[in-house]
Structure 1
Amino acid sequence: MKVQVCIIGGGPSGLLLSQLLHLKGVDNVVLERQTRDYVLARIRAGVLEHGFAALMREAQCGERMDREGEIHHGFYIANDGRLDRVDLHKHSGGNSVIVYGQTELTRDLYEAREKAGVKTVFQVEDVVLHGLTSDAPHVTYRKAGEDFRVECDYIVGADGFHGVSRKSIPSDVLREYERVYPFGWLGVLSSTPPVSPELIYARHERGFALCSLRSQVLSRYYIQVPLEDKVEDWSDEAFWAELKRRLPPETAAKLVTGPSIEKSIAPLRSFVAEPMSYGRLFLAGDAAHIVPPTGARGLNSAASDIYYLYHGLIDHYLKHDDHGLENYSAKALARIWKAQRFSWGMTHLLHKFPDRSSYEDKLQDVDLAYLLSSENALGSLAENYVGLPF
């Protein structure tokens, strides 16, 4: 097979780039290790920046998002039994976010590419990247016991933290920055109405909690738990009881509980790999960076990568201009580190750290009090939450 761009990874990042390139006439293929159903079964974030939403519309995949997505003009911070609302619309100059599940977003992208006849190869194994610093890179893989080869101009690694793409960059070139947090998030998806029309981020002496939603009949809730906890340690009843303890009494009293549809524990880490390009290889999304889910930057950070990479590739093929590709890593990383800073700050502001001193706990109190009392601080929070410009 010969294409202009070979994309490794059939998650939302790879699919979005593939669709955008296809609409501009750039031939590409997506290689995915899992099945389509497996990818769609992954339950992930659902808060989209306005910039991400604009990319979905440009990819001609935003119709259902605009019809079914929940537009949120703010969110709440719960602390000491009270709720304070952060008015995103007011403090960001009129912007907002859209709550739309990543599963549904990925489904929209898959349906668009299937309708257009764009090729996706599922269940690929033993993927190897070759000739990255040459003018003719290629990718080899196995499927159903048979060997295949994809010749291409460029390779995009959108295959996640554990994928092969980042590992294909020589160790003397790649530099990695990482912070692993001493806790995880236990998440529950339930067929229940949300306790609040907007997200609630709760700070509590027992640990962080988040009340989120996928729709008016589907809710997603999280609580901070120790890393050594296992899903089997938490019955539905125990989860709901602990969540209620961490919410203001009036909010807890309104919480509708029910059987969990999905329950999992996600460890938290901050991670950045530099550079995000090597020869004809470009990294995007979790292959290059990860943030804690506090503040909903993960999927949105991937969107900025796709924006820069898409425009760089289009300029190369349509304008014979390589400036965007040559500067992709530096430009993407400049925005990524700002997202890292924001997620780091939100995580430290709202979580209970087991190894933190009483002095640091007091500073956390002061940080939150200052945030909620300062128009400038709220403006900075809102600007980052709705998404910095690409």
Structure 2
Amino acid sequence: MTQPTLGVILNGATGRMGYRQHLVRSVLAIREQGGVELPDGRRVQLDPILVGRNEAKLKEMAQRHGLERWTTDLDNALSDDTATVYFDAQITSAREKAVRAAIAAGKHIYSEKPVAESVADALALARLADDAGVVHGVVHDKLFLPGLLKLRRLVDGGFFGRILSVRGEFGYWVFEGDWQTAQRPSWNYRSEDGGGIVLDMFCHWNYVLENLFGRVEAVTARAVTHIPTRVDEQGLEYPATADDAAYGIFELENGIIAQINSSWAVRVNRDELVEFQVDGTEGSAVAGLRNCRVQHRSVTPKPVWNPDLPATERFRDQWAEVPDNAEFDNGFKAQWEVFVRDVVAGRPHAYDFYAAARGIQLAEAGLASSAEGRRVEMTPLG
């Protein structure tokens, strides 16, 4: 039985996400396990071509991981007939042009989000990809996290009864760059470079809400820049022109109300960097990146409000852990495997560029709501 190989162009391989999550923890991890297993028992091996702007970094990275193919010339990589898939992890402002070139070259496209800087541009890319007959997908990694997989299990099993609300908390303190190095690149805080937490995180929140609870019909949001000045990678002070925190209320198609706070200017006082609490008529759950805790209606205590007496027990101790009941892989790697199987089968990827456009639509609506101080309704994109 022959083992097929897919050449994969990894553009933006030297960046934080491109290197850690997509090269090391996804593509190289898939290579080490012998490829992606197909339903017929065959395995598809991946053969990466690293693409980036810094020749020295690419050469060192390739040598470190025993890879032979790398280039600073994207056109050269796209002309390689052995490369079937193009992946993009560049900065947002550079993505659309490269994706268009990859579609023109007949490559299947997998991309970090947002896939473009506007809904119109994302829809244009989706239609171009459809016309070219290529499989297209965008990263929806959080759906593959253990905590949200457990949450999906609860939703599918009817644990909540009628779901009433979702409350999400995401974020951590990103150092300003003066006395400690920032954990995120400086372009994230410049709107002219495609930065901003709304454009970054509302795309995530859209697919989480859409796939677990229902389509977003309206949003009311407030986006702010809490830290107005930061220090970049060269040690130079620069004005932060992009929002670093956003507070949103999302109305879903089935009457569920979701509230999600997103911030790079908050110190963590929760069990995980992101947590979602879901409350329903029959039970509630709190899910993070890995864990999920529940409290069913039948065992819900009767809290009594008394500000004159200390609490007699820890409320978190009244919740039960949801068991794994399965082995969970890295979320990025898991979606890579799904995408590769879709490419081999020649079928559409569930999380395609149209899903990406809906995520950007929510980000645009959130920014409009904040700027205009109003509730913004969402027009279905399909």
Do Structure 1 and Structure 2 share a fold, with TM-score over 0.5?
Answer: no
Q: TM-score, normalised by structure 1?
A: 0.31
Q: TM-score, normalised by structure 2?
A: 0.31
